[in-house]
Structure 1
Amino acid sequence: MPTRNELLWPWWVRVSHWLVAAGVIAIWLMSYVWYETDWWHRLVGYAVLAVVAMRIVCGCLTTAECARFYLPGWCAICTHLGEIRQKRMTTHRGHNPLGQWAVYLIWLFIAALALTGWLSRTDALWGEDWPVALHAALSFGLLALIVVHVLAVIIVSRLSGQHLLSQMIHGHAQSLKHTSD
């Protein structure tokens, strides 16, 4: 269990998280609110992909326990789901099992969006509708994943007593329940 004021998330994890979040929000605004932003849409999209790639490289090289990659097995996921059903939560140093899989899914969707966005602009597929349609479908899939992510942060914060949002801002473990230290 992380202790209060223990640094959990290195600066590069937090910066990459918020850069990806800001980039995805900007791309959505460019796609559905502002128009005539095709060049900016592509630029920000590739920048988001680059941030994800850097996060993956750093995650492979780091010694920070919470930022390393692991693949939670089905037993860990089932245990975690059971805890959620019982409205209690084991605190984790980093992502819980479902959270880790969500990270991988979000990154996979971002990579697929970059690929389909690039394919829709290539000469070989010029005039083809499927890359654009798949790109749009993936963007709505990513939006659904982000909504689930935000709801999960709220639910897990309440069940575990950890303030996950502030942890991703300043990196330190912080409890929602104020106990005397």
Structure 2
Amino acid sequence: MSMRVKVWDIWVRLTHWAVAGIVVWNLFGPTDSTHRLLGYIAAGLVVARIVWGFIGSANARFSAWWPTPARLREYFRSLAAGRPLHHQSHNPLGGLMALFLWLLILALGVSGWLMRLDTFWGEDWPQQIHTWLSLVIEIFACVHIAAAVLMTVWTREELIRAMVTGYKRVNKPLE
């Protein structure tokens, strides 16, 4: 029997899709003043989402999905057994990916800001770091998308739809 379960509040979904759109734009669009502005907006949205991780809805809170070593071990065991545990919020690997992507976005914002400082005028390393970080986020965004698709198919939980509607249909009890 499947159930429709409320998973993500509007703030989680808006910040997710706004940041995703900005990342795509900034990876493939021109590197101009709009690129800079959108980069700072993305970093600000990530900071706001981190704050929401402490004060937001139950599933948005870090306490619901923080990828502790114990949670990660348990989840890896369930994957190895071919029976992935179901989670109402992020599974531990999804939580780890979210944290890593947020860290990358914040690091991109800082490296972009450093490139604009007079102190580093003529220095190549801020640009090199920024370029390297943009390649890393491109790779991990692709891994994130592929994992969401794979886990949606494997678990039959509507992970991607849930990030649009806020609800997912699940076939098993959630943890």
Q: Is the 8 A contact 2:27 2:138 kept in 1?
A: no
Segment drifting more, 85-94 vs 159-168? 85-94
Q: Equivalents in 1 of 2:70, 2:54: separation in Å? A: 24
Distance in 1, matches of 2:16 and 2:47, equals 12
1:166–1:174 CA contact under 8 A, matched in 2: no
1:173 CA drift (Å): 1.8
Match of 1:134 among 129, 135, 144: 129
1:164 equivalent to 2:159? Answer yes
1:108-167 CA-partner distances (Å, limit 9, x unpaired): 000000000000110000110000000000111111111111111112112222011110
- The answer for the alignment partner of 2:22 in structure 1 is 23
Opposite residue 50 of structure 2, the aligned amino acid is: I
Following superposition, the deviation at residue 80 of structure 1 comes to 1.3
Q: Quick check: which one's helix share is greater?
A: 2
Q: 1:86 and 1:144 mapped to 2: Cα distance? A: 28
Contact 1:7 1:172 in 2 (8 A): yes
Distance apart, 1:41 and its partner CA: 0.7
Identity of aligned residues (%): 34
CA apart distance, 1:87: 2.5
C-alpha displacement of 1:85: 2.6
- Superposed, 1:49-60 pairs within 5 Å as 49-60=43-54
Q: Distance in 2 between matches of 1:138 and 1:81?
A: 28
1:64-114 Cα offsets, whole Å, 9 max, x none, are: 221001432222212212222332211101100111111111000000000
Distance 1:84 1:155, change over 3 A: farther
Which whole-Å CA distance do the structure 2 matches of 1:82 and 1:96 have between them? 13
Provide TM-score, normalisation by structure 1: 0.87
In the alignment, structure 1 residue 115 sits paired with structure 2 residue 148? no
Secondary structure, counterpart of 1:173 in structure 2: strand
- TM-score, normalised with respect to structure 2: 0.90
CA distance in 1, matches of 2:107, 2:68: 24
